[in-house]
Amino acid sequence: MHHPATWQAPPAAAAPPRRTRGRALAWLAGLLLVPPTAVVACRAADTDGITPVIQLLAFLPWLLAPAGLALLLALLGRRPLLVAWAVTVLAVTGWYARPYDSGLADRPPGPVVARVDVLTSNVQYGRATGELIEAVRRERPGIVFAQECPSTCVAALARELPRADYPYRIAAGGAGAAGSALLSRYPLERAGSLDSALAMPAATADVEGTAVRLQLAHPLPPVPSVIGDWRRELGALAAWAAAHRDGPALIAGDFNATGDHAAFRRILDRGGLRDAAALAGAGRTPSWPARLPRPLGAQIDHVLVGEAFSVRSARFLDLPGTDHRALLVSLELHAAR
């Protein structure tokens, strides 16, 4: 019998190591599942949500990695509810991350009246102007859309690309990222410019007697401080697309958005447009940041075409000096039936 003054309570029994380990694995699995759950929930709800969901939507396919790791941890921790959560997130993410369907077999609207190659390139403050010039000389596209092409870039294009090859040119904006340029083998008529921080000029091209509406795209990137402007400028592109839905139309450039952004999909829906790269089976090919090896990155550079066009091919070109890959698409313009 212990004396009351010297008696001590026995130490509390420590939690079994297996239970502690399982709890830690469960917490980690839950934390890993939160970002992909929020992103795919917004994707399913056809909304872009708020920061950081907007930014993560650009990299939706890569959210399969944390979701897959969470599933493994849930299995190791023997947490059935977490396993079900992880399997659900993986299934939904996988559904939205699947390659876009190719539309090359789509029935064209009428006979072919012209073949048009279109090149779009963000030359990053003009740093890749020389590489763009080399690509234009090599590929000889009919229409060139250049973003972040300041006055020095415009001057270099005028100096290095003969007027005989590209007699029709439109420059807009000015210094740094604000500058843009359109070059064409086909007669161009300026058609104003959207109200935007970075120049987004519009034009009408006479392609073998058919008037084709052109719009250069370069909305602000979705950084937290300008999310409202990002939405507004993508909305302006959607309004332009809706206004030109009844005729041949083409929008090309750096959209700072992917096919997983609701604001981008509204441009397609309102204008009856299709993504040329997706039609050519390259809808998940990344265009930014170019320094990352494929297939890492996001496709934010697009050429969108109306029903008057069919797509023969789409290729992404590496241009040293810029953080974007250029996109070259080969199109056929069809007459209306």
Angle at 197 between CA 240 and CA 268, to 5 degrees: 30
Q: Give whole-number Cα distances, 52 to 42, 63, 289, in Å.
A: 12, 13, 18
Q: What is the pLDDT of residue 98?
A: 83
31 contacts: CB under 8 Å, gap ≥ 6 = none
Q: What is the pLDDT of residue 10?
A: 59
Q: What is the pLDDT of residue 107?
A: 66
Could you list the beta-strand ranges (E) of the chain. 112-122, 143-147, 168-172, 180-184, 188-193, 201-207, 210-217, 249-254, 274-275, 301-305, 309-317, 326-334
Distance CA 123, CA 129 (A): 6
Q: Give whole-number Cα distances, 289 to 103, 215, 221, 299, 324, in Å.
A: 26, 24, 13, 9, 6
Residue with tokens 């509390």: 12
Looking only at the bridges linking them, the beta strands covering 143-147 and 112-122 are parallel
Name the pTM for this structure.
0.91
Distance CA 98, CA 215 (A): 29
- Residue type for 95, please? W
Q: E strand or H helix at 43, and its extent?
A: helix 17-44
Q: What is the pLDDT of residue 283?
A: 86
Sheet holding 274-275, edge to edge: 188-193, 201-207, 210-217, 249-254, 301-305, 274-275
Closest alpha carbon to 300 in 269, 264, 249, 331? 264
Q: What is the mean pLDDT of each run of 10 residues along the chain (337 residues)?
A: 56 62 89 97 97 97 96 93 96 88 62 96 98 98 98 96 97 91 98 96 97 98 97 98 96 98 97 95 94 92 96 96 98 89
